[in-house]
Structure 1
Amino acid sequence: MDIKSNSLYNQMQSMSLQAMGNKLPVANGDSIGVGNVGQPNQSTSNFGNMLTDALKNVNDLQKDAGAKKMAFEMGDSNVTLAQVMVASSKSGIALDATVQIRNKFVEAYKEIMSMPV
Structure 2
Amino acid sequence: MLYDMDIQALNSATRFMNSSGNLSGKSAGDSNFSEFLSDAYDLAKSTDLQDKSSALSLLTGSEDDIASAMVDSEKAELALSLTIEIRNKVMDAYKEILNMQV
| TM-score (norm. length: structure 2) | 0.69
Q: CA deviation at 1:42?
A: 8.3
Following TM superposition, the consecutive aligned residue runs of length 4 or more in structure 1 with deviations greater than 2 angstroms are 39-46
Q: CA deviation at 1:107?
A: 0.8
Q: CA deviation at 1:104?
A: 1.0
> Partner letter of residue 73 of structure 1?
L
2:42 paired with 1:56: yes
Q: Which has the larger radius of gyration?
A: 1
Q: How many residues are aligned here? A: 83
Unaligned residue ranges in structure 2 (runs of 5+): 1-16
Q: CA deviation at 1:51?
A: 1.3
1:75 and 1:100 map into 2 onto residues whose CA distance is: 35
> Partner letter of residue 71 of structure 2?
V
Equivalences for 1:19-98 in 2 at 5 Å? 24=22, 39-40=24-25, 46-77=32-63, 79-98=64-83
Task: Give the CA RMSD over aligned residues.
Answer: 2.6
Partner of 2:92: 107
Indicate the structure with greater helix content: 2
- Cα distance, 1:106–1:89 mapped onto 2, change above 3 Å: same
Q: CA deviation at 1:116?
A: 0.9
Structure 1, residues 34-86: CA drift from partner, whole Å, max 9, x if none? Answer: xxx8x439888622122112211110000000000001000013x51000000
Unaligned residue ranges in structure 1 (runs of 5+): 1-18, 25-36
| TM-score (norm. length: structure 1) | 0.61
Structure 1, residues 4-40: CA drift from partner, whole Å, max 9, x if none? Answer: xxxxxxxxxxxxxxx87xx63xxxxxxxxxxxx8x43
Q: Equivalent pairs: percent with the same residue?
A: 31
1:100 and 1:53 map into 2 onto residues whose CA distance is: 14
